[in-house]
Chains A and B, each alone.
Chain A
């Protein structure tokens, strides 16, 4: 039998932004699915989004309500969502209450009632909300199993895609016939982490197609449920081939130290303590990109876009005009309850919207603070996924990170994330001749030559300016307390390392 003879399973849009990607393109047509989770986790809203996305007058949706939330209240609340189109009621979407038959009769009568309505309406979508309350009355396992089997068989035969909604606990996954019969099992979780709510979705099973495994963050907004795939929606994107192009910082001496600039598609970490000019360097990087026709994104967490642009203006860098021209987006990601996936979604939207080639994340400390406490434990892992995804599509990322200044150590970051980055530029204070001066060194450049020189720099009205040549008349510069030696300052050009990787 050739592949041409295999049946084609059509996929239906879930109506939930981000969920199609997670389920592998869409929901398999005629599948029998369970949405499980605790009260308030968004089960009904998710089902409504699916219903509103797929119901038509020709192939309507039947939404059976049982005990629990009343239909009137449910619709009162659900119609607040933007996806809710009242015009679809009742021709495309019919609500049918089964409470009476559930209360007064047995499962056979319930099945009969559902059968009658389905045969009458010929629906494309059937929802039972809540299925759990429908089968809550004591009955033998065989009764229940038989009911579920017959219901699943009947609805699939009538070419309906079905959602059963239930408040289940995870320990019920075992030995419950409903989970055996189901083609798809969507589990919604929400947990309180300190002062924030963390919502995650898992496709525990989905027959017939590959879904993205793992827990995916989701949020409920006025647009309904929005899911954020762990692969950031980039799983189908081809990786860009490695680029040999070098991107300039707009600081000639720094470009030289970097062996000609940052390699396109690299992830660069600029590390230093407060006031060393990390943000200035990042701003110059993005401004130079715009000057060279490369749109950019700046994700800021610690100050508003307007303040960021004004600070750039004080350095003679115009960020207002490129924003108006659609060449630059400064994203201010509201703090305290974000997941990395949501942040990524915002950044990716912006990247795709303006075709950004450069991205600045200023700073990782601010990024971490902006996350809900529940997501901070996964920060490194999430950051890895984010950097991998973005650099894979050719975006060059510059992240700033604040490190505690120490005169005994020379840390590259407080997150042990230097392994995630291709290039590291370290800024630090040194005490020289009774002054607190600043030095810069390129710690690593993956796959490229870079200078070994330690260079002094200043932050002026023109931004970061690298002074003179390398500091050869001091020893112990990276300790922050160097000792003057008798050697004069070097006049030689920066000497280049051959790209040996340093282990932080």
Chain B
């Protein structure tokens, strides 16, 4: 089962927030990894390091079914992600979220799926209200409400 578009869109918006925060010319790996790290920080405080690690491991296992490129990626016991940097090291073009959202860009799809899977698990376990509240703390300026924008993205 693939990640629902709504959740993938949420992952895109988080990555976009991070990219915008560093003037969009930031390489993709930095934005995506920063999203992961911010989720890790926030959730580790909230649910404990082990709590985040277990969610991240499960998310990675689910993401691999959609993105075989994640096969080499590992989550360590402290929740740190290993292997993603190497895979993405060759990506040098700036982020193009619209292209990626439209499915036209295959590069970096794996890590978006991973972020989406983490969000999906959180939504499954905690529900939208709590998850969005937590995300708003980390990304205070971001709009996560679909009603705020066309196609679910804040323009």
Contact = CB atoms under 8 A, between A and B. Distances in A.
Nearest to B45: A96
A71 B130 contact: no
Interface residues of A, number: 19
B49 A86 contact: no
Given A75-B126, A76-B125, A70 B133 contact: no
Interface string A65-78: 10000111101100
Contact of B47 (A70, A79, A89): A70
Contacts of B47: 70-72, 95, 97
B51 A87 contact: no
Contacts of B127: 76, 79, 86
B20 interface: no
B50 interface: yes
A97 B122 CA distance: 16
A82 to B, nearest CB: 14
Contacts of B122: 72
Main secondary structure, interface of B, reads: helix
A273 interface: no
Contact of B46 (A71, A73, A100): A71
Nearest to A75: B126
Contacts of B134: 89-90
A90 B55 CA distance: 20
Contacts of B49: 97, 99-100
Contacts of A96: 45-46
A89 B48 contact: no
Contacts of B133: 86-87, 89-91
Contact of A97 (B51, B126, B137): B51
B46 A95 contact: yes
Nearest to B121: A72
Residue with the highest number of chain A CB atoms closer than 10 Å, among B46, B55, B125 = B46
Contacts of A90: 46, 133-134, 137
B43 to A, nearest CB: 9
A95 B48 CA distance: 10
A263 B50 CA distance: 69
A27 to B, nearest CB: 26
Nearest to B127: A79
B57 interface: no
A96 to B, nearest CB: 6
A96 B48 CA distance: 8
B30 interface: no
Contacts of B55: 72
Contact of B51 (A72, A79, A86, A91): A72
B44 interface: yes
Contacts of B44: 97
A97 B48 contact: yes
Contacts of A71: 46-48, 51
Interface in B47-85: 47-51, 55
Given A90-B137, A97-B44, A70 B51 contact: yes
Interface string B125-149: 1110110011001000000000000
Given A95-B46, A95-B47, A100-B50, 11 more contacts: A70-B48, A71-B46, A71-B51, A72-B125, A72-B126, A75-B126, A79-B127, A86-B133, A87-B129, A87-B133, A99-B50
Top 5 nearest A-B pairs (CB, nearest first) are A86-B129, A97-B48, A99-B48, A71-B47, A89-B133
15 contacts: A65-B48, A71-B46, A72-B55, A76-B127, A86-B127, A86-B129, A87-B133, A89-B133, A90-B46, A90-B133, A90-B137, A97-B44, A97-B45, A97-B46, A97-B48
